[in-house]
Amino acid sequence: MGLNLQFDDTNGPFMLPRHLFACESLKELELDMFYDLRLPSFVHFPNLTTLTLTRVTFLDDNSVGKLFNGLPNLQNLALLACGWGNVVAVNISAPMLEQLTIYEYLATEETIPECQFMISGSRLKVFDYIGELVNDYCIFDVPLLVDVDVHLSVDIHKSNEARRLAAYRAHKLVRGLTGVKNLYVLSSRSFQVLADAEELIACFPLFHKLNHLEVSWSPPVDFASKALLKLLHKSPYLESITIEPRIQLSTLSERDDWEFDPVPPCFLTHLRRVKVKMFCGYADEVHVLKAILKSAKVLERIDLGTGKDCRRPPLSSSRFQSAAVKKRLRKVHCEFEPPKVNGALFPDSDSRALDRQKALDAAMNDINSSFGKGSVTRLGSAGGALVETFPSGCLTLDLALGGGLPRGRIVEVYGPESSGKTTLALHAIAEVQKLGGNAMLVDAEHAFDPAYSKALGVDVENLIVCQPDNGEMALEIADRMCRSGAIDLICVDSVSALTPRAEIEGEIGMQQMGLQARLMSQALRKMSGNASKAGCTLIFLNQIRYKIGVYYGNPEVTSGGIALKFFASVRLEIRSTGKIKSVKGDEDIGLRVRVRVQKSKVSRPYKQAEFEIIFGEGVSKLGCILDCAEMMDVVVKKGSWYSYGDHRLGQGRDKALQYLRDNPVLCDEIEKIVRSMLTDGTLHLSSTPVKSLSLPPQDENFYEEI
């Protein structure tokens, strides 16, 4: 349920009904009121996910704390032109918050509020800020931050002291955004604000994850700006730059010789695409493009867009006029490959490159003779360079993993109780056995059910089962079996049950600090290398615990220390999202489960897979096939009807599943198509090579001019 309240010309302070602030069914709330907001003594919105406050004024810290502490499931928060009155500090740290938008509006110059914002969130992904930095912002503990939109603006008529204060606040805000992947600077004035504090430019933070930078709106982007150049130097993994306004160069007399000095590291290793939306052909723009072409060693593509307002550029060559102005409403594309000599990116000469190649071959031969053949090798000549996968038993999960579970890697599956961890592991064991492999189950919980495993397709007669006495015994047996080279999959159920020997021999209640964490850390250092050499996949099932005294952020933590998080190539978080009722609705017959790929070294992370687990049967195979076929457009859904080619499967998901159940031949045909698309990578559009774009004949001279 959503509620939108808007009041104008209301004499404050104004208090809304008390029962509104304890509404359990409210999910979206928008308040647009130009008044002072008073809150009751108790504020609790248990299911509120979206909150938008416009022109709302808070009176004190108490009202702010009551509101933000009563939003346990808040996901989207927007604070638009809000007033903070006598508020000293604002703490925004909702545990489920994913998107935060702040728009500052300063109505008068006389009353400047001084308020400190403390922003954190383990799940915060999107942060938007537009304003004049009248408040102080401190952002921390945002590991999942992906997109940031920033517009920093300060009135040029303000005093130097006020502008320097805003610049200091801008640098403080920027320091909290260093983990962002996509940065959108909504106005190039933001770089001018940062440049007002020149002594802080030298201490600019490192943006270690930034892949894309985009600058929008006027005024023109000054590529000689110290703040912009410092940002480029502090973004070593920057892959693409998009500039919407016009490019210019300031404070330079000899612009014909302008170049990046020194060259940003990303230009040498990662920058592959530059896009200029409003290219007019002015001299400054051409000089900047020349510098980019000269410095960017791995650049693959330049996009130049000219709009209808493009004026005649002040270039002596008429070739630009025929190449660009005549194509005002289309983009001009340029693709090229930097020259290489014998595979070297920066060769000084042919002779030096040849000498370096001889020295490299000699070093590799010496290492292989000392440490054994194959100790070092070129990846192109090594067989099996790609990571092999095998089915997990759940087709939707295979789709999220990019093919299935990786061979020779460590996989962690964690989640709450009764969420399907053991069921997922048993399905993986069954799939390995179907392929002719050997599997082992380390049942540290001593809760193995042969009948249920057999119902899931596990060959219990040939399954190797170990029920160890302690954690050392379990991990040592698993390591020995892994080193034998005869095991394809080892599943440990679970890490929480791997009790160290010292804890078992000691008395109950005796303090044993860090024994299990040290045990796991030592074992994983040995087992990770052995598993890779033997091609044996290790699946560790893990339980979750709760940190004590955590009121903000995610209190959940997995047991067994943090070593498993680092050694695992894939980490899967599995949770139950609901129960499946019978046709009559009188009993529960299964669970709906969501798996999130929290970490993946072999495919794209953060994907999700949803499927159904039927009690006594395991993962619903037909449901996975239908869902994947729909996502790949093998099965088409129009309205509520499902169809495959000329076959109408049924109206509604349940009837479509029943049709597939009654027609196993058709179901097998759909499954083969889905698996072939998954194996061939046809659905991964991002991996499809970009076709070369041939330039129109009239454009080639223009690129020679640049």
The secondary structure of the chain in percent helix, strand, coil, rounded to multiples of 5, reads: 30, 25, 45
Interior angle at CA 227, CA 226 and CA 229, nearest 5: 65
> What pLDDT sits at residue 614?
94
Q: Give residue 680's pLDDT.
A: 63
Look at 416 and 202; give whichever has higher pLDDT: 416
Given a contact cutoff of 8 angstroms between Cβ atoms, the answer to whether 310 and 343 are in contact is no
What is the predicted pLDDT for the residue at 285? Answer: 81
Contact present, 396 and 610 (Cβ < 8 Å): yes
Per-residue confidence (pLDDT) for residue 459, from 0 to 100 = 95
Q: What mean pLDDT is reported for the chain?
A: 82
Domain 389-501+516-547+555-618, CATH class in plain words: alpha beta
Q: CA dist 259 to 288, 336, 521, 588, Å? A: 8, 20, 50, 69
Q: What number is the average pLDDT over the span 668-689?
A: 65
- pLDDT at residue 335 tops 70: no
SS3 label, residue 241: strand
pLDDT of res. 83: 85
The pLDDT of residue 371: 83
Token reading at 525: 């250092």
* pLDDT at residue 347 in the model: 45
pLDDT at 343 over 90: no
Q: Is 533 exposed, middle or buried (0-12, 13-18, 19+ CB in 10 A)?
A: exposed
Contacts of 185 (CB under 8 A, 6+ apart): 150, 151, 191, 213, 214, 215, 216
The Cα 247–Cα 279 span in angstroms is 8
pLDDT of residue 192 exceeding 60, the answer is yes
Please, what's the b/e burial string for 400-432 (b: 16 or more CB within 10 A of its CB; e: otherwise)? bbbbbbbbbbbbbbbbeeebbbbbbbbbbbbbb
At what angle are helices 621-631 and 664-680 packed, to 10 degrees? 50
Q: How many CB atoms lie within 10 A of CB 671?
A: 19
**Predicted local distance difference test score (pLDDT) of residue 608:** 94
Burial of 665 (0-12, 13-18, 19+ CB in 10 A): exposed
Pseudo-torsion of CA 696, 697, 701, 703, nearest 10°?
A: 20
DSSP string spanning 520-545? HHHHHHHHHHHHHHHT-EEEEEE-EE
Least confident piece of the model among 53-57, 368-372, 600-604: 368-372
The CA distance from 134 to 646, in Å, is: 64
Q: At what angle do helices 653-662 and 664-680 cross, to 10 degrees?
A: 110
Answer yes or no: are the C-beta atoms of 49 and 28 closer than 8 Å. Answer: yes
d(CA 4, CA 80): 15
d(CA 356, CA 354): 5
Q: What angle do CA 544, 549, 552 make, to 5 degrees?
A: 85
Q: Which DSSP helix (H) or strand (E) runs through 357? A: helix 350-371
Alpha helices in 46-181 (DSSP H): 61-69, 160-175
Lowest mean pLDDT among 50-64, 139-153, 303-317, 665-679: 303-317
> How much is the average pLDDT of 631-653?
89
Q: What's at 333, amino acid-wise?
A: H
What's the pLDDT score for residue 689?
30
Q: Where are the domains of the chain?
A: 1-145, 160-355, 389-501+516-547+555-618, 620-680
What is the distance between the alpha carbons of residues 172 and 251, in angstroms, rounded to a whole number? 27
- Pick the residue with more confidence: 372 or 437? 437
| Range ranked top by mean pLDDT from 172-176, 198-202, 529-533 | 529-533
Residue 591 DSSP one-character state = E
pLDDT of residue 132: 84
The string of pLDDT tens digits covering residues 204-232 is 788 888 999 998 766 788 877 788 888 88
Q: What is the mean pLDDT of residues 77-85?
A: 87
Burial of 327 (0-12, 13-18, 19+ CB in 10 A): middle
Please give the residue that has the higher pLDDT: either 690 or 697. Answer: 697
Instruction: Give yes or no for residue 615 having a pLDDT over 70.
Output: yes
To 10 degrees, the CA torsion angle through 106, 109, 115, 116? 80
> Which pair of tokens denotes residue 579?
């129960």
Question: In terms of Cα–Cα distance, which of 465, 431, 428 is closest to 447?
Answer: 465
The residue behind tokens 């093919």 is 403
Distance, in Å, from the CA atom of 575 to the CA atom of 585, rounded to the nearest integer, reads 23
- pLDDT tens readout for residues 538-573: 999 999 999 888 877 889 999 999 999 999 999 999
pLDDT band at 400 (very low <50, low <70, confident <90, very high): very high
More confident residue, 197 or 496: 496
> Is pLDDT of 632 > 90?
no
**Cα distances (Å, whole numbers) of residue 162 to 86, 136, 196, 238, 667:** 21, 13, 10, 33, 70
* C-beta of residue 642 within 8 angstroms of C-beta of residue 670: no
Residues 6+ apart with CB under 8 A from 74: 45, 48, 49, 50, 51, 94, 96, 97
pLDDT, tens digit, 9 for 90 and up, residues 288-316: 888 888 888 888 888 887 654 444 443 33
Q: Which strand (E) or helix (H) includes residue 589? A: strand 588-600
The answer to whether the CB of 317 falls within 8 A of the CB of 344 is: no
- What integer pLDDT is reported at residue 683 of this predicted model? 46
- Determine the average pLDDT of the residues in 370-391: 74
Residues near 465 by Cβ (< 8 Å), separated by ≥ 6? 440, 441, 443, 448
Per-residue pLDDT for 341 more than 50?
A: no
| CA–CA gap between residue 635 and residue 631 (Å, rounded) | 8
Q: What is the band of 186 on the pLDDT scale with cuts at 50, 70, 90?
A: confident
Long-range contacts of 457-461 (CB under 8 A, 24+ apart): 457/393, 457/427, 457/430, 457/618, 458/426, 458/429, 458/430, 458/433, 459/430, 459/433
* Residue 577 in this model has a pLDDT that exceeds 90: yes
- Under the banding of pLDDT at 50, 70 and 90, the label for residue 681 is low
Q: Please give the CATH topology (third level) of the domain spanning 620-680.
A: Rec A Protein; domain 2 (3.30.250)
Q: What is the mean pLDDT of residues 37-62?
A: 85
CA dist 267 and 265 (Å) reads 5
Confidence of residue 376 (pLDDT cuts 50, 70, 90): confident
Residue 697, preceding bond cis, omega within 30 degrees?
no
